[in-house]
């Protein structure tokens, strides 16, 4: 697999869990733009403070800022063995920008995996979501609790709720996703696009993903 693989899906659809799992399976890196922006937002600078406000509101960060950061990362890593993008593109502009970056790097168009989950299921998942403050592993109080109780089973890190996983902010993030989703699906409809039932058990979703993106898959023409 020597391609960019992208996960499309609403907040809580399992993008983070499945993309880091797939990255491990394929031995390639996983770039979560949400994680990247949360790290930037911790900086005690004007830009960091501004970013914190945007993230806390559930709005999307400006296309130009996210595109520049993704472009820099792709150029630096030149993903000869492929790379997974989790949470990018989020808008049509970003999808067009990604195509330009890939064309510039002479890489084929992306493999698009869309995790489809109903709104009711998403709300339940997000309010119960917890994340290790040290390694970022994602748990869910209902469907995937930590075997070590209220700390991370990998490193004993504290399990925290993301600042933007409160109900009001979740609503805003869902609305942002709904607005952007249909145009993106339309944009990728002629491409290597796969809709996956994200309501299945985690292992069944992983199996469906591996069947599409696994190592046996043929290389697509550039
Ligand atoms: P996520 O971790 O993917 O749920 O993203 C968390 C937040 O980061 C989103 O609500 C946005 O504010 C921001 N964000 C992440 N990826 C993008 C993107 N591609 N474009 C704009 N904003 C983004």
- The end-to-end CA distance of the chain, in Å, is 13
Q: What is the pLDDT at residue 217?
A: 64
* Cα distance between residue 74 and residue 55, in whole Å: 23
Global pTM reads 0.84
State the pLDDT at residue 160. 95
Give which of 18, 4, 6 is closest to 199, Cα–Cα. Answer: 18
Which atom of ligand 1 lies nearest, measured to the CA of 11?
Answer: 4
Q: What is the pLDDT of residues 16-67, one digit of tens each?
A: 999 999 999 999 999 999 999 999 999 999 999 999 999 999 899 999 999 9
Active site residues: 15, 90, 129, 162, 173
Model confidence over 158-203: pLDDT tens digits? 999 988 888 889 888 899 898 999 999 999 998 999 999 999 999 9
- CB of 87 closer than 6 angstroms to any ligand 1 atom: yes
pLDDT bracket for residue 90 (50, 70, 90): very high
Alpha carbon 174 to its chain's center: 14
**41, 87, 110, 175: residue to mutate for ligand 1 pocket, most atoms within 8 A of CB:** 87
């Amino acid at each position: 697999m020597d391609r960019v693989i992208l996960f499309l899906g609403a907040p809580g659809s399992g993008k983070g869990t499945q993309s880091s799992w797939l990255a491990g399976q394929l031995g390639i890196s996983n770039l979560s733009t949400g994680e990247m922006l949360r790290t930037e937002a911790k900086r005690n600078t004007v830009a960091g403070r501004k970013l914190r406000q945007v993230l806390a509101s559930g709005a999307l960060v400006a296309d130009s800022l996210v595109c520049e950061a993704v472009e820099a990362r792709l150029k630096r890593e030149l993903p000869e063995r492929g790379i997974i993008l989790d949470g990018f593109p989020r808008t049509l502009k970003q999808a067009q920008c990604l195509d330009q970056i890939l064309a510039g790097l002479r890489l084929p168009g992306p493999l698009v995996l869309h995790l489809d989950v109903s709104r009711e299921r998403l709300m339940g998942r997000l309010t119960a979501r917890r994340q290790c403050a040290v390694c970022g592993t994602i748990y869910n109080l209902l469907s995937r609790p930590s075997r070590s109780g209220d700390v991370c089973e990998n490193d004993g890190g504290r399990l925290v709720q993301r600042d933007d996983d409160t109900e009001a902010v979740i609503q805003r993030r869902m609305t942002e996703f709904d607005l952007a989703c249909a145009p993106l699906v339309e944009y990728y409809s002629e491409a290597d696009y796969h809709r996956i039932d994200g309501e299945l058990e985690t292992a069944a979703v992983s199996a469906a993903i591996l069947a599409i993106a696994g190592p046996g898959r043929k290389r697509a023409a550039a």
